[in-house]
Amino acid sequence: MRAGQGRPQGVVTRGTTNPNRLRRVDNWIVATCGDRLRAAADPLVVDLGYGATPVTAVELRARLAAGVRADVRVVGLEIDPVRVAAAAPAADPPGLTFARGGFELAGLRPVLVRAFNVLRQYDESEVAAAWRTVTDRLAPGGALVEGTCDELGRLGGWVLVDADGPRTLTLAARLATLESPAQLAERLPKALIHRNVPGERVHELIRALDDAWQAAAGYAPFGPRQRWLRAVSALKESGWPVLDRPPRWRHGELTLPWPAIAPT
């Protein structure tokens, strides 16, 4: 492990985490970011801010090793030294290690950074600088996946950010328990959560998705997946630049280019 460079950037926040909480974003990373990792000379991934226990870092390594490449190296970075010490028994070098670090990534140059439920407790005004600090340190072609989810990982939202800035927003829900897509507003990434107000594009998106879900109520007898697929198709037909294809939508996902929902 390379030594960190100076003081870790950021602040210690609540360490709440849960087993399997990040399965939706992990599955999306395997499907969507796998090629970046396959092409990398050094398949280094950072899990930034893994929390009170390292369980989600352990899971990320297992999912990437099984789904992308067996020689992936995941480094869990935490700004809280107590949590770094607590994670040590879970290390399995070289595939999984833990170290102290913050947005400066402790001098590492990973191809992928997952930072989940980390910026939620920061101020919205700090998001852009945090993104930039991380993306400036990525390996060429690297990306940051930054987002938020609920405690059980049933509702979530994340942004893919690379050297050119934010690229996409993904919303994801466990369809079996989804009452209405409006619930996703509570789990928007920090850059957007305060923008769910009239006049903002993300507000229009959530309203349009909710309307499409209501209009697709006739599909409910075929199950929530069919209803979601219909709602996302309708959103696309109405002009929203929905990305990906039904094989991803059926996971309860919706991805759009960042400019379609960027804050005004």
Ligand X SMILES: C[S@@+](CC[C@H](N)C(=O)[O-])C[C@H]1O[C@@H](n2cnc3c(N)ncnc32)[C@H](O)[C@@H]1O
Give contact residues for ligand X (rule: CB under 6 A).
9-17, 21-22, 48-51, 56, 77-80, 83, 102-103, 116-118
Helices (H), the chain: 23-39, 55-67, 81-87, 127-135, 190-193, 201-215, 224-237, 246-249
- Considering the complex, what minimum distance in angstroms separates the CB of residue 174 from ligand X? 16
Most distant pair of Cα atoms in the chain: their distance: 58
Question: Residue 263 and residue 187: Cα distance in Å, rounded?
Answer: 16
Question: Residue 234 and residue 240: Cα distance in Å, rounded?
Answer: 9
- Of 102 and 224, the one with the shorter C-beta distance to ligand X is 102
Contact 45, 145 (CB under 8 A): no
- Considering the complex, what minimum distance in angstroms separates the CB of residue 11 from ligand X? 6
CA angle at residue 141 from 74 to 73, to 5 degrees? 15
- Considering the complex, what minimum distance in angstroms separates the CB of residue 90 from ligand X? 14
- Considering the complex, what minimum distance in angstroms separates the CB of residue 259 from ligand X? 27
Q: Which residue's Cβ has the minimum distance to ligand X?
A: 10
- Considering the complex, what minimum distance in angstroms separates the CB of residue 27 from ligand X? 15
- Considering the complex, what minimum distance in angstroms separates the CB of residue 45 from ligand X? 13
- Of 10 and 43, the one with the shorter C-beta distance to ligand X is 10
Per-residue burial over 101-129, b if 16 or more Cβ lie within 10 Å, else e, is bbbbbbebebbbbbbbbbbbeeeeeebee
Q: Mind giving me the DSSP string for 107-130?
A: G---SEEEEESSGGGS-GGGHHHH
Q: Which one, of 59, 43, 63, lies nearest residue 51 by Cα?
A: 59
- Considering the complex, what minimum distance in angstroms separates the CB of residue 129 from ligand X? 11
Contact 246, 226 (CB under 8 A): no
- Of 145 and 242, the one with the shorter C-beta distance to ligand X is 145
- Of 133 and 226, the one with the shorter C-beta distance to ligand X is 133
Q: Mind giving me the DSSP string for 130-142?
A: HHHHHHTTSPTT-
Using only C-alpha atoms, what is the Rg of the chain?
A: 18
Q: Exposed, middle or buried, 15 (CB in 10 Å: 0-12/13-18/19+)?
A: middle
